[in-house]
Amino acid sequence: MEAAYIVAAARTAGGRRGGRLTGWHPADLAGQVLNALVDRAGADPALIEDVIMGCVSQFAQQSGNVARNAVLSSRLPESVPGTSVDRQCGSSQQALHFAAATVMSGQMDIVIAAGVESMSRVPMGASAKLARDADMGSPFGGPGMKARYPGVAFSQFTGAEMLAEKHDLSRDDLDAFGFASQKKAIAAATSGAFDAEIVPVDVVLPDGSSEAHVRDEGIRLDASLDAIRGVKLISEGGRLTAATSSQIADGASGVMVVNDRGLKALGIAPLARIHHMTVVGEDPVIMLEAPIGATQRALARAGMNIADFDLFEVNEAFASVPLAWLKMLGANPDKLNVNGGAIALGHPLGASGTKLMTTLVHALRARKQKWGLQTMCEGGGLANVTIVEAL
């Protein structure tokens, strides 16, 4: 079997809901990342054999196969195909897995895995709302699911609270984690740690002028633990708040994945090697606990221990997710989300998988470290795990 290498990894800086990236059509935003990957790899655009793109809300401006539309909005030639993936929040991490499997099998040599989500232009749950308003039913309303899960209203917010309760995570624990995410993101942004991974995109300012968007808009430079402690609970009697949940965000990201023939064709040195990939399904009610079991399975199959890793990226959908993961895996918290996570930087749903991988690869190389592990919770009780070796 061929090896799979990452030769370029890039992302836009995140935009807040209704913020600086609102003016960008999602296909065009993703197209900017495709262009950047080609430029960074020094690749002939015609050598790209496929674009696999994650997107959760494949509706309205993100419908009609957003991957192909992103290709047609980029400098890639019409000959480059594209397909769109929905594995909920892990959509572009799954796109990476599909891309890696394709080059490992030898079917293709150079593939881009990417993701995009404009949560300003296509709000989360927009298609479900339209379906309700038109009396078209719910995706969870079939008789099979109702019989298997009677009386269950599937909700990530409920799952996040269940996770906090199950793993005995207090409001104070969650607030402290949310504050730490902001502090790490502030340090990373101000030190230039994100500079190598961010694709500048022009945005129009309120006064009509334009400038390059190069800093994640969700970072709160004035964050304080006292302010976080004062944020209202999402649900009465719960433990989570908006300050300990991921921020709604706009963004795009991607990685170029190749095998040895692809490396030779490009004449480029790899940034990292994909060492292992896992995906699991678990309880869809608590929903967000699957990264724990997925990581345990990945470690067993890869023949590795949690102590072998230099850095971890565990998506901060809610603070209870990485905290429960740390507790059950016995991982070193100092290695987790070292540049902050989605609580501070935003969670552009379908773009978050390759966004986290971009940050992980760049962080490993900047620190001259070797092993990284990425995982995230996904709607339906799913989780992907990717293990990479920085080169």
Burial readout 153-185 (b: 16 or more C-beta within 10 A, e: otherwise): ebebebbbbbbbeebebebebbbbbbbbbbebb
CA gap 172, 188 in Å, rounded: 24
CA dihedral 67, 68, 74, 77 (to 10 degrees): 140
Estimate to the nearest angstrom the gap between the alpha carbon of 49 and the chain centroid: 23
H/E segment holding residue 8: strand 5-11
Asked about 55 being catalytic, the answer comes back as: no
Q: Is 89 a catalytic residue?
A: yes
DSSP state of 253: E
**Is residue 377 flagged as an active site residue?**
yes
125: left (phi over 0), alpha (psi -120 to 50) or beta: left
Alpha helices in 42-141 (DSSP H): 66-72, 91-105, 126-133
> Which of 89, 97, 167, 213 does the annotation list as catalytic?
89
Question: Using CA atoms, how far apart are residues 373 and 364, in angstroms rounded to an integer?
Answer: 11
Residue 300 to residue 354: CA distance in whole angstroms: 24
SS3 378: strand
Specify whether the CB–CB gap between 87 and 246 falls below 8 A: no
| 66 vs 72: CA distance, rounded Å | 10
Cβ contact 33:10 at 8 Å: yes
* Spatial distance between the Cα atoms of 385 and 100, rounded to a whole number of angstroms: 13
Closest to 52 in 3D by CA, of 100, 13, 105, 1: 100
Instruction: Name the phi and psi angles at 326, rounded to 5.
Output: -60, -45
Residue of 167, 213, 362, 377 marked catalytic: 377
Residues catalogued as catalytic: 89, 347, 377
